[in-house]
Structure 1
């Protein structure tokens, strides 16, 4: 991932998502959004007024039973991104009977990846404790992420220490949906540094190779890890394609049959933009995936 390309594509993503978000106001939205809920106590020394916030999207039509929950973690190269440009994901999920949680988390250079993962775990803990108030089932929490957000989702789903440090005895993640995941094996990526500008990632990941391995979900996979539903763009970055295949192969070695789909001709940014359309392939596979885990 060359720096110039990443910056251009990131800017394009923001522009397209702003346009998409604006269009949401012209679309019927059968959901209720509760905005800017703090998932970290304001009294904590690390509290960030902006970044320790989440939005909940619940179906307007109340169901007789509690609904499954999908918590979405945005991407953005570990140094950018905001929940505010992913409202369409919350709306689309809620329209299909899912309680959605879209979160912010602290970014580089303010913090490094372990602190970002801590934030995501704290958002999951808040969800486990409070989502019943919005019609969600705290026993059916799934994670979903794009790019860097997918790496954070995979990490806290496979490395239980992020929850045990919070006093949560059992990892509450029932399954993970990975959308063109970056950073599943940053240990290998940063050892090689094959692309110009790869030094930029040391701001978020530090300079210790053991630290790179510690935050790479690949090295935490076990047969007991939650199930993964993975989507990779056919024209995504080579590093994402290769690490995703390595992740898949490791699951197979562990005796797991992962659900893995390559979407032909899709590049990295369109892999998240397609979530604007309710009937795209990710939602079509997501719904039975979260239902099967009941």
Structure 2
């Protein structure tokens, strides 16, 4: 009976959250509510849109921002895939702003890098202008979105606004032989990076690898990898941890039981959110 009641409560909660998604105001429990703006255009193309959630609590306080970046192999995916997870984060972090973004998808004729990292930068500029202050940022992404989160934070964040990176099953080293088994690796190797932006002596895969850009000033990073992931091998986790450690960057890494898409399934999702909360409570470390 208790199990049936738990299932019913969980189902009603999901229904409530889904209904809330259709309203301009999202209420997630006693004293937790957000103003929601959907499909805000932050750039000039139809792909450059985001959903923005601003808490009603302490309106005058300058709040940190989660920027949520979806996966999909750089060529697919949509922000809607992370809507429910974003709502779950909002329950845990009721005093943060959340921007769940889309970005320009890559094709064989339109490389993803640096356009996709440029999109993150454009989101940040939009938010700074809208909020009228320079917020501290937490970049959180899964798979390709985690890769873009790390790449932006380690290489493109010239003003060092990124407070932390949450890397969920993200490729950190695109030249890793283990990653070459990825079904779409030929696209990654040949078309992901615009060759006009390459630095002499670097290959496309090394340029697009977050680990290539880690130094002593890089953002603290929490990573989450599946022990049965057939897309992102655990060698990616070990390489990332090793280079973060070499540069004395504060980082935490956890493994979950499951494959590439199991990170947001119970109990993995709750474990991750709890670890993010603890990670962000720690004093800023480098």
Instruction: Identify the match of residue 49 of structure 2 among 42, 47, 53.
Output: 53
Does the alignment pair 1:178 with 2:178?
no
Greater alpha carbon shift after TM alignment, 195-204 vs 250-259: 195-204
* Separation in structure 2 between the aligned mates of residue 211 and residue 105 of structure 1, nearest angstrom: 20
Q: Across the two proteins, how many residue pairs are aligned to each other?
A: 252
* Separation in structure 1 between the aligned mates of residue 174 and residue 105 of structure 2, nearest angstrom: 17
* Separation in structure 1 between the aligned mates of residue 148 and residue 118 of structure 2, nearest angstrom: 9
Contact 1:78–1:113 (Cα < 8 Å) also in 2: no
Deviation at 1:222?
A: 0.5
Say which SS state the counterpart of residue 64 (structure 2) adopts.
Answer: strand
Aligned to 1:128: 128
What's the RMSD between the two structures over aligned residues? 2.9
TM-score (norm 1): 0.75
Does the alignment pair 1:283 with 2:273?
yes
Larger Rg: 2
Please give the per-residue CA displacement for 1:197-239, whole angstroms capped at 9, x wherever unaligned: 5323333246886122111110100111010011111211364
Aligned to 1:246: 239
Say which SS state the counterpart of residue 206 (structure 2) adopts.
Answer: helix
Does the alignment pair 1:213 with 2:206?
yes
Say which SS state the counterpart of residue 249 (structure 2) adopts.
Answer: coil
Aligned to 2:106: 108
Instruction: Identify the match of residue 187 of structure 1 among 165, 172, 175.
Output: 175
* Separation in structure 1 between the aligned mates of residue 104 and residue 231 of structure 2, nearest angstrom: 27
Aligned to 2:9: none
Gaps of 5+ in 1: 1-19, 41-46, 165-169
Contact 2:231–2:260 (Cα < 8 Å) also in 1: no
Contact 2:182–2:231 (Cα < 8 Å) also in 1: no
* Separation in structure 2 between the aligned mates of residue 247 and residue 116 of structure 1, nearest angstrom: 21
Contact 2:111–2:193 (Cα < 8 Å) also in 1: no
Please identify which structure carries the higher helix content. 1
TM-score (norm 2): 0.77
Say which SS state the counterpart of residue 193 (structure 1) adopts.
Answer: helix
* Separation in structure 1 between the aligned mates of residue 275 and residue 78 of structure 2, nearest angstrom: 25
Say which SS state the counterpart of residue 181 (structure 1) adopts.
Answer: coil
